[in-house]
A and B are shown apart, each in its own frame.
Chain A
Amino acid sequence: MRRWRRCRGRRCEGVRSADRWQVGPTLGNRAVERAAAIFADLWRSERSIGKLRAAPISLNMKVNPQSFFNFCAHHAPLLHALAEHGGELSDAEALRLIRLNPSAAEELPETTWRRLRELQILVPTEPGGALFFLADPVARLLTYLYNEANPATPEMIRGCVLSLETTGKRLARALDEEDVQQVKLAFEDISQPLRRIYADLNETQRAILAEVARFKTERSRVSVREKYQRIVHWMERYVEPMIEVVRPDGQLRAAFDETERLLHRAREEALFNDNLALVRNLRFLRLVGGHALRVFMQCRKEIQPLFESLRRSSFIAEGAARALEKLQTDGLSKWGNEYLIGLAALRFQNVPSDAAIALALRRVVDHPPQPPPVVQFSTEKDNPTELVRLMWLDSLPDLVRGDLPLQDLMAWLVRKFPERDTSDVLTGFSGLLFHRDFQAAFADATPRAYHTPDGEITASPLTLASA
């Protein structure tokens, strides 16, 4: 038995038509035929796009489109429920959904369950496994039919760009070798990633706008922090990286320019100037190139205010939560002033009252005038004693110089200045003993007694000479 292999993250290509129709019990034959055509296109594109994707699909069993769409026509609510469920589901879960969304044809749930597997609408996650998931081509068809959009990741766009680059190299080689068949094949291959990029961009824009609208209208109790994390995810996962890819100096533009150059070369070499694929590709290149950046700049403009608002709200909420948590864990005594919002409160301290000020002024006004103090300026007639003493001490070296050499300095002082007391004599003696102009030496003689007005000095004689 052949199966569809699981392949997540794909999208429906070849279903870009503006024609939309309702799927449900009222689905008419014309709509069935149209959907069948789209589904067939989907399968074909899946085969070719499989080359671009990480996990190529393999279709192992031919499903009759007529049977498939007849079944879908009678089970549209069930298919929608399966699509909304998403992810893996067990047979019990599948049967529950079948019972919740009964068929218009009044068939048994077990029959519906069997047909879901026969038509490969539900496929096992692994061969023989008990878990199932909605086959990707069906999921994408339902996404398209219910006008829902999934965003393309930058990696998906880069994959398309890489495919375009590879095809471009093949085209260049074919042009060099003038291999007409290869050139025509390259033309066809170029249109595939271009269509996919265009579809992906549009679908991503729709997904982002839907998400923004959901954010604005959502009243569910999702916390601000969770919302902020979600919007950050959208910004960081889709919008900003995608702008990097599609900006004028980005990877997409470079691949487009190179492809356009090769197509012009093919046209100029006249072999292919009437090829419809070439003309279409050139037109599409210009269309997608300009469209890509505009789409994502618009997306950023839509999402940026929401991002800013939620970021601010998230910060505010986080700050409040931190403050409350700190209070809860540490208590009020350790809460600290950094969590308080200060208020001005002007406090007047030691301010005199009006009555006190008036009294002070009155005292100044009523204060009786007094004559100013007289300062006596007069000079002293006698020199101060200390000054006289200092002047005497300063004059000693000059006085003694004329009597040098002296055999007994102390005797000279007592004889010359008999009015000087013991203190003055000793001070003068010391000054002369250590003066730099004189050389002094104690004589090796018996100590003598020198009389002063207030006492007696006993000392050995000291000789003094010029230095």
Chain B
Amino acid sequence: MNQLPHLAEIFDRLKRGYHLGPDDEPEFSALQARSDDYAAYFAALGLTLVRHEREFYYFEPDNPENVPDTLPRIAVFSYIVIDHAANQGRPIEEYIFGQNFLMTALPHFALDRYATLLRQVDMHEMSDVKILLNRMEQIGWVKWLGPDEFRFLRPFHRVFSKCIEIVQAANSQGNAAGAANASQNPPTSSSAKE
């Protein structure tokens, strides 16, 4: 257990909210090779190492009472990217991961609706987006390729997982409401005959 390679570097990055993906060598390979050992080591410290189904790693977050301002900003920014991708008619993942993005070509301030949403999280201009992208780089979700160009990294899949979770929650609520309605409105005799 004490021989886990790159332990200090891995811990140092994960504890700051970083997501270790294939772009993070050699730490990622070390984790891939002995993920169970690392998970056991961190579990002893009360930390849960999550291995995402799309093959990247992060520490399971707490549920802090005070949510940092960054989280809503990241969420709104990411949902807008997805919403824009959906309107392009291409599969979302192909759109997000299949190209590099120019910051100046982002749709975030191109539509009033998006701009209004961003204002709610105190983002008013592209410089705010730049700061946010820097933060997203710090957690391993994007990678700058130039002063204005970046690409999304694999850990951005966490946003997709969250989207699916939202839909499933909404569907299960809908099903529960439907079942409740059904119990309140039992089938009539004619439908029972059917």
Contact = CB atoms under 8 A, between A and B. Distances in A.
Given A316-B82, A332-B72, A344 B167 contact: no
Leading 4 A-B pairs by shortest Cβ distance: A319-B163, A342-B61, A317-B86, A344-B59
Interface string A318-353: 111111100110011001011111111110000000
A356 interface: no
B152 interface: no
Contact of A344 (B17, B85, B88, B121): B17
A342 B71 contact: yes
A220 interface: yes
A343 B16 CA distance: 8
Given A324-B117, A340-B71, A224 B90 contact: yes
A309 interface: yes
B117 A338 contact: no
Contacts of A412: none
A416 interface: no
A319 B93 contact: no
Interface string A207-232: 00000000000111111111100000
Contact of B93 (A222, A226, A312, A339): A312
Interface stretch (B2-10, B30-38, B73-81, B181-189): B73-81
Interface of B: 14-17, 47, 58-64, 67-68, 70-72, 74-76, 78-80, 82-83, 85-93, 113, 116-117, 120-121, 139, 158-160, 162-167, 169-170
A313 interface: yes
B102 to A, nearest CB: 19
A321 B92 CA distance: 13
Given A218-B89, A224-B85, A324-B83, 19 more contacts: A219-B89, A221-B89, A224-B90, A310-B91, A312-B91, A316-B92, A319-B167, A320-B163, A321-B79, A321-B86, A327-B76, A327-B117, A332-B72, A337-B67, A339-B79, A341-B71, A341-B74, A341-B159, A344-B14
B139 A224 contact: no
24 contacts: A224-B85, A224-B92, A313-B93, A315-B164, A316-B164, A319-B163, A319-B164, A319-B166, A320-B83, A321-B79, A324-B76, A327-B76, A327-B120, A331-B120, A338-B169, A339-B166, A340-B67, A341-B159, A341-B162, A342-B61, A342-B71, A344-B16, A344-B61, A345-B15
Contacts of B93: 309, 312-313, 316
Contacts of B88: 221
Contacts of B60: 344
A342 B163 contact: no
Contacts of B167: 315, 318-319, 322
A344 B92 contact: no
Contacts of A317: 82-83, 85-86, 92, 163
A224 B89 contact: yes
B165 A319 contact: yes
